[in-house]
Structure 1
């Protein structure tokens, strides 16, 4: 059983994924972390990205995320071109991860762009994390040391919150850590029971 975990930028996906990782019967796949590893280790991906964005795309064999970010977040065409390189590689990597974690009750696939990348087709359930927009903006400004306009540019490249809510099976309102822990525990218990029907 595969469960998607998503939420807008600054909603606390990493925190919620860590809470789920406390349960031994769950395997966690963080798409963004794995994508970063592939971007910096795959020769094929490096060649394609360099061809697309030029020699400045990498510094000492590591992707210059700030440079690429400035280019893609202001151009949907460039963002789509980048995604066409990275998404298939992540998809293949995740398929191998699923095979090697068949013993788990369910696999949690965490991605900020779950819907945008068409990752939902193989998911059995979707969990969405909700945080008020202004709070999310403030969190990202502090976390990434960026201005509000940069955060808004990123948000504008993600699906609208109401659209995601309509397509989600479970909702976590990430307002306080204790409250979030409680919501994670309840959803985990439900999913563990549902996993029995997927055997």
Structure 2
């Protein structure tokens, strides 16, 4: 088995790269998706978030109101740290379960947005960084996710710098260009990862 940490700044295109890796046969462990699962209604994770942040972060239906919680934590590093202290251990435990279920010769790709910010690179055999310029990422966040430019810039500023991410990369996939330029790069990296897993 080869354990791969996949990361990149918000708007860099991790979801697309994860999808391509999965299409080649990778076991993808998506931290963002798990982070949503561990705070679904009825989970201990959601109960802990409500205990920390109050009922105001719930929708009328009792689910987590992500935009409201986001407006609280992204404006205050202390509150963000409090949220991370609840969610990150739950995500790590679930990720470990999924990894343990993978075949011995699998390529397990952990999609971890905050890999560099949380100093997690040593947990993986290899780190793949999706790289795109700030201008490209900002454009995608505004165009594809409907964010206001200042909101997108705040999210980007809360993450590691491009240089910090590139410093931990074993492989860099450039996603500054069109989508069709992405697939050949991902395929090249996949071949290397699959060879490593087969060793």
Work out whether the TM-score is over 0.5. yes
Q: Pairwise mapping of residues 170-185 of structure 1 onto structure 2 (< 5 A)?
A: 170-174=171-175, 175-185=177-187
Uncovered stretches (5+) of structure 2, i.e. residues with no partner: none
Cα separation, 2, equivalents of 1:118 and 1:5: 13
Within 5 Å, give how 1:8-157 maps onto structure 2.
Answer: 8-24=9-25, 26-41=26-41, 43-59=43-59, 60-157=61-158
Shift of 1:41: 4.5
Q: Which of 186, 189, 197 is residue 188 of structure 2 equivalent to?
A: 186
Where 1:108 maps in the other structure, the secondary structure is strand
Equivalent residues of 2:116, 2:164 under 8 A apart: no
Deviation at 1:42, TM superposition (A): 5.4
Kindly state the Cα deviation for residue 165 of structure 1 after the two structures are TM-superposed.
0.2
TM-score by length of 1: 0.93
Q: Deviations over 1:75-130 (max 9, x none)?
A: 00000110000000000001100111134421000121112234323101001111
On the 8 A contact 2:4/2:107 being kept in 1, the answer is yes
Structure 2 residue aligned with 1:196, among 192, 195, 198? Answer: 198
Distance 2:160 2:174 in 1: 18
TM-score normalised to the size of structure 2? Answer: 0.93
Moved over 6 A (4+): none
Contact 1:38 1:45 in 2 (8 A): yes
Deviation of residue 56 (structure 1)? 1.4
Unaligned 5+ segments in structure 1 are: none
Displacement of 1:178 in angstroms is 2.2
* CA distance in 1 between partners of 2:84 and 2:163 (Å): 24
Are 2:121 and 2:168, in contact at CA under 8 Å, matched by a contact in 1? no
Could you tell me how far apart the structure 1 residues matched to 2:170 and 2:36 are? 28
| Structure 2 residue matching 1:21: 3-state secondary structure | helix
SS at match of 2:129: strand
The answer to whether the 8 Å contact 2:105/2:198 transfers is no
Which whole-Å CA distance do the structure 2 matches of 1:2 and 1:111 have between them? 12
